[in-house]
């Protein structure tokens, strides 16, 4: 019985590893992804080598709405700390500071998410979808429809997503594909209203006092990464995030 169990376990592990290593190959069957690799991968590899990233790596994405910046952080899988690799500007923006509350409000969400979709056939060239709404978003939306389909994508138009142009999404999509293919099953995407320093918090709370409790909660996750350069484990409680 034990040997049978181990055989089954090995089969499951082998299938998982095969699917993992085939992710890039599957993505490359799509013309836009193939084109993105052809245009961007050689130069990205040179930049990775310059940053002493030569093996498989993990990816962390941080977005800041007030600054309109998308930060790409990387670390080799045998390292503990992330290093800033690239920063891309939002090429368009919708809504104001504060979380997304309902469908159609044009708001970019705020909170702690991860990539759930690679879309090589996007209407916005290439796109990476996140798991909005999470449980805290659903609670905040109450009886309203929270909306969905939040992506980092190409082109330069938005009603609540993060567009960075076709040219730049090629780079981000390739890096996300490499991270996923290298074993990172959950790529974190943390979206902040702004860089949540105490100075910025006080500045923006003067204009948006209704978000005080929420932004102070987000600041805990922001501070953890700033201090340790590691992505915290995020736990969604009833109405707030907890970090480990």
SS3 assignment, position 169: helix
Nearest CA among 62, 84, 88 for reference residue 75: 84
- Listed in sequence order, the DSSP H helices in the chain are 2-21, 23-27, 31-50, 135-141, 165-181, 198-205, 212-228
Backbone torsions φ then ψ of 127, nearest 5 degrees? -150, 150
Residue with tokens 């201090």: 227
Instruction: List, in order, residues 6 or more apart from 228 with CB less than 8 Å away.
Output: 81
Q: What DSSP string describes 175-236?
A: HHHHHHHTT----EEEEESS---HHHHHHHHTT-GGGHHHHHHHHHHHHHHHHHSSPPPEEE
Residues acting as catalytic residues = 153, 161
CA distance 56 to 36: 19
């Amino acid at each position: 019985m034990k040997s049978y169990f181990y055989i089954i376990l090995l089969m499951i592990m082998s299938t998982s590893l095969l699917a993992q290593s085939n992710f890039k190959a599957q993505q490359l069957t799509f013309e836009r992804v193939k084109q993105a690799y052809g245009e961007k991968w050689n130069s990205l590899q040179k930049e990775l080598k310059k940053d002493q990233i030569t093996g498989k790596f993990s990816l962390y994405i941080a977005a800041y709405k007030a600054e309109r910046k998308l930060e790409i952080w990387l670390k080799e899988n045998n390292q503990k700390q992330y290093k800033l690799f690239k920063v891309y500007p939002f090429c368009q923006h919708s809504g104001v500071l504060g979380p997304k509350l309902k469908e159609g409000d044009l708001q970019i969400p705020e909170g702690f998410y991860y990539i759930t979709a690679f879309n090589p056939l996007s209407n916005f060239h290439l796109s990476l979808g996140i798991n909005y709404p999470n449980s805290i978003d659903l609670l905040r939306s109450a009886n309203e429809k929270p909306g969905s389909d939040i992506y980092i994508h190409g082109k330069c138009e938005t009603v609540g997503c993060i567009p960075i142009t076709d040219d730049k999404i090629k780079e981000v999509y390739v890096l996300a594909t490499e991270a996923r293919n290298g074993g990172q099953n959950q790529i974190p995407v943390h979206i902040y209203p702004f860089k949540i320093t105490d100075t910025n918090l006080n500045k923006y709370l003067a204009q948006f006092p209704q978000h005080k409790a929420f932004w102070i909660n987000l600041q805990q996750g922001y501070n953890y990464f700033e201090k340790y350069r590691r992505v915290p484990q995020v736990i969604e409680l009833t109405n707030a995030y907890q970090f480990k």
